[in-house]
Structure 1
Amino acid sequence: MITEKEFYKNLKPFLNCIDYTVSEESYEVMKNEAYDMLVTSPVPNNLDKYYLSENYISHTDSKKSLFDKVYQIVKNHTLKKKLKLINSFKTEEKTILDVGAGTGDFLKVCKNGGWKITGVEPSDKAREFAESKSIILHENLTQVENNQFDVITLWHVLEHIPNLVEYIEQLKKLLKPNGVLIIAVPNHKSFDAKHYKEFWAAYDVPRHLWHFSKTAISKLFSLVDMNVEKILPMKFDSYYVSLLSEKYKTKKSQPIKAFLVGLQSNLKAKSNGEYSSLIYILKNK
């Protein structure tokens, strides 16, 4: 098994990005060509403080701004699609672990759909929101390490994980031998990523430590003898990410322009499969 240090070897400069959410600090996004993966550098020692913002919407249920409202509308639509996806798998006991569960909305939908739910969320604030919905979340994976699950989901979480290889090994141990692992992450090969470049909102430095491609996910999980069985698009992401990216680039909300870029991204992805975000369905070899 390789160590995480391997990802930082032979890196080439790719982009310089700014943290538009919290600090306005500048970070290098470097390329690891062997994995076709981008790496944020440097990684702050006090990473937790970069999540302490009302603008970090996955830890709140805010509906104040245009971006908040769009996010919540899209989230409610995608929750139903996510439930439909996990219901499509044949499972032993309908047990699910959601890692990075945020404010608990996905697990609430799963619970109402007859699943036995477990969730992990490191943010105190997000766990409090979840508890108000009667969804009790654990703080980290060590608190559930004696269990195994039919389905494990990480919706836009893997890009945040500092100890990437170790974490992937932990996920495999928590998955039943015939279980399903679902990973959703932004795709730096998408049209909207190439269009907005350093302003692409899904780089989200320094919170996003890794920026994945299809090749990167396939190679990473082959390290723990897992295969990518299927790849699905997250078509709404191109619109929301473009909306934020336009704001970062022009300092203005430009919903029509953002919509057109998002639409163009999805149309191009119809032929090459490079959607703004992708869902990977993984199983043991």
Structure 2
Amino acid sequence: MEEKVIITAKDHLVTNEQFNIVTTNIDGLLKTSPTPTKEKIGNYYQSENYISHTDAKKTLVDNIYQIVKSYSLNKKYKLLKKLNPEAKTLLDIGSGTGDFISYCKKGFDCYGTEPSEVAREKSISKGNKVVVSTEELEIKKFDIITMWHVLEHVHDLELQIKKLNELLNKNGAIIIAVPNYKSEDAKHYKEHWAAYDVPRHIWHFDKHSFKELFKKENLFVVKILPMIFDSFYVSLLSEKIKTGRNNFVKAFKNGLQSNLKAKSTGEYSSLIYIIEKRDKDSF
């Protein structure tokens, strides 16, 4: 199938280079093109403003991010406990500076993987068990595996999903959060939508493509949940990209409109997918 350019977006964080977002052979799955190689992609993360690799509180936007992150930690922990009260082991892939696994240590034996040396060292300094990749883990099977806004960064999707299947205990669950380019805020901001975040975000998912990818490994989506705050935060970043200013009122309005629209469509700015080993999809 010949790829089709859906939209052209710019790397607003580091280089100002332009990248196309194109169709793939899976309906609904989009890819950033050209895709930087594994050897070169690290250059596009070299910014003090790449907030998931820091604990920065330098700007108002940084502080908003940290406040929302603190609130979200408790929500995520409760989700895990509700999903599998008997779960004992947790692996967070792409664990960043480690706040999530630090928080979850009260209820799980937690491990993390993080390729960024800076973020990994921050996490280790918090007492976390963090390694570069899953090959270095002490244990090989987990009750819960999480990827919070990480899957979109992975070069080889099929290999990553296969690895998730291998790492998951029989009755375990995978929880993955990714941006949703079919959300109202994505449609509103178009090429200025911050969650395209090219070229760091290699992949761009909708519900159909996400489920199709996991079906290949007999992993099935059993529930989809919204990330309500993402529409506000992404709208704030998108306003800055589009206008060069922190327009809080406009960003709040657009974020709210996106969430209200999503109440009927289910197309929230970011979605959490709950995935299990089952005979068939629940959707």
The TM-score bracket by the shorter chain reads over 0.9
Following the alignment from structure 1 to structure 2, what is the Cα–Cα distance between the partners of residues 85 and 117?
A: 16
Following the alignment from structure 1 to structure 2, what is the Cα–Cα distance between the partners of residues 265 and 140?
A: 36
Q: Deviations over 1:101-125 (max 9, x none)?
A: 000000011002x210111000000
Query: What's 1:32 paired with?
Result: 24
- Deviation (angstroms), 1:219: 0.2
Answer yes or no: is 1:181 the counterpart of 2:174. Answer: yes
Gaps of 5+ in 1: 1-8
SS in 2 for 1:70: helix
SS in 2 for 1:88: helix
| Greater Cα shift, 144-153 or 250-259 | 144-153
Following the alignment from structure 2 to structure 1, what is the Cα–Cα distance between the partners of residues 256 and 231?
A: 7
Identity of aligned residues (%): 53
Query: What's 1:101 paired with?
Result: 95
| Greater Cα shift, 173-182 or 91-100 | 91-100
Pick from 142, 164, 170: which aligns with 1:149? Answer: 142
Query: What's 1:137 paired with?
Result: 130
TM-score (normalizing by structure 2): 0.95
Question: What amino acid sits opposite 1:79 in the alignment?
Answer: L
Pick from 138, 158, 164: which aligns with 2:157? Answer: 164
Q: Describe how 1:30-69 pairs up with structure 2 within 5 A.
A: 30-32=22-24, 34-45=26-37, 46-69=40-63
- Deviation (angstroms), 1:164: 0.9
Answer yes or no: is 1:271 the counterpart of 2:260. Answer: no
Following the alignment from structure 1 to structure 2, what is the Cα–Cα distance between the partners of residues 70 and 14?
A: 31
Question: What amino acid sits opposite 2:66 in the alignment?
Answer: Q
Answer yes or no: is the 8 Å Cα contact 1:91–1:179 preserved in 2. Answer: no
Following the alignment from structure 1 to structure 2, what is the Cα–Cα distance between the partners of residues 33 and 171?
A: 22
Query: What's 1:14 paired with?
Result: 6
Question: What amino acid sits opposite 1:122 in the alignment?
Answer: P
- Deviation (angstroms), 1:206: 0.2
Query: What's 2:191 paired with?
Result: 198
Following the alignment from structure 1 to structure 2, what is the Cα–Cα distance between the partners of residues 143 and 22?
A: 31
Question: What amino acid sits opposite 1:74 in the alignment?
Answer: V
Q: Deviations over 1:103-150 (max 9, x none)?
A: 0000011002x2101110000000111122111311011112851000
Answer yes or no: is the 8 Å Cα contact 2:87–2:144 preserved in 1. Answer: no
| Greater Cα shift, 30-39 or 194-203 | 30-39
| Greater Cα shift, 134-143 or 203-212 | 134-143
Question: What amino acid sits opposite 2:68 in the alignment?
Answer: V
Answer yes or no: is 1:83 the counterpart of 2:77. Answer: yes
Following the alignment from structure 1 to structure 2, what is the Cα–Cα distance between the partners of residues 131 and 33?
A: 40
- Deviation (angstroms), 1:35: 2.4
